[in-house]
Amino acid sequence: MELKINQIILHLLDPGASEPLLSDRPMDLDADLFDYFTTVLERAFATDEAKNCRFSPDSAFAQEMAHNQDFVDLSRRIAGVIFEQMLQYPAIPAGDLAVVDFTADAVPFYGVLKLNYRPGYTHHTETMGNGRFSSMVPQRTLLPGTPKADEAALIDRANGAVRMIEKKFQLDEKKDFYLSTRVFGCTEALQERAKLKAVCETAVAAVKEAYPEPEELDDVPPFDGGTETAVELMVCNQAVDNTISVEDVRTRMREAYPLAAPKFEQALADTGVREDDRVTVSPARMRRMESRSFKTESGIEIKIPAELCNSDDAVEFIHSATGGLSLLIKDVLV
């Protein structure tokens, strides 16, 4: 994903100050700040903690964004609405709000990044008479040292889709979200993890139904769970920059498992995943799919790259007459 940051404005939202400290112009970006916010945005796109949302028809923010092209004024309005929520609900943590005008693969976005304060300490030095002493003093408004937003909204200005990272806080008599419902007026679609699970499980079920005998498939290794592993790997192999196009999965299903493709497409539609959806796969999930682990009864564990499990030139799975399974590893270098 290619990110281009055009401008960033920073507002300070601390209910202890009774009113927000709003900036009148975007901040100056040096190389370090540019790298910091680029990483924050990349992580917000990549995390599977985010959920996909759409603006409700009566979303006041969507109407405001459609008619207000003044970036500074729009950012101040967002900060003001969030600050009102913080005054009303003390459980919402104080923090700085960075509003970012940027593009992702040439698509225009607004990024609303809430960087909640962390308590900590810093040093303090005093000179008394001929002596000097240093001590530590508490700080309650330290920003995150790790470039990661605690709460965020990535707003696709081209199609109105919103990628939301939010947490529940005590609102009135229960814990609930406030960003999606009270600030932006969004309704939630399937979460990324749920969407990926729906794609994988639907694909696996369709393949197992169409090909009940794994031997019928050329690219499925003959061990328990082989079909499931092969199909999930096929799905995740469609990822580009940790993002999977559902249309790419549908195309690959038609090529690799033609008998399963119609059932897959029909069942996928019932899950709520749309044909034009894009699914984010976390780097951690991608790493888990890169290899397959095998463990013997004696505790010996072998990890093999997933793509080699399908290669007869690298490994061979041998079924014994008693139902056991042996693994032959070829071309071992010692």
E strands, the chain, in order: 3-13, 51-55, 95-104, 107-116, 118-128, 131-142, 151-156, 161-165, 169-171, 174-176, 186-191, 243-245, 278-280, 291-295, 301-305, 315-319, 325-329
Q: What tokens does 14 get?
A: 């601390």
Cα three-residue angle 226-231-237, rounded to 5 degrees: 125
Q: Considering only CA atoms, which of 156, 151, 162, 153 is closest in space to residue 56? A: 162
Neighbours of 125 (CB within 10 A): 8
φ, ψ at 83 (rounded to 5°): -65, -35
> Along the 334 residues of the chain, how does pLDDT read in single tens digits?
899 999 999 999 987 888 899 999 999 999 999 999 999 999 999 887 888 888 988 999 999 999 999 999 999 999 999 999 999 999 999 999 999 999 999 999 999 999 998 878 878 888 877 788 788 887 777 777 788 899 999 999 988 889 999 999 999 888 999 999 999 999 876 677 788 888 888 998 998 888 876 655 655 544 445 667 678 777 877 878 778 888 999 999 999 889 999 999 989 888 878 777 888 777 776 676 667 777 777 888 877 776 676 666 777 777 666 666 677 888 776 6
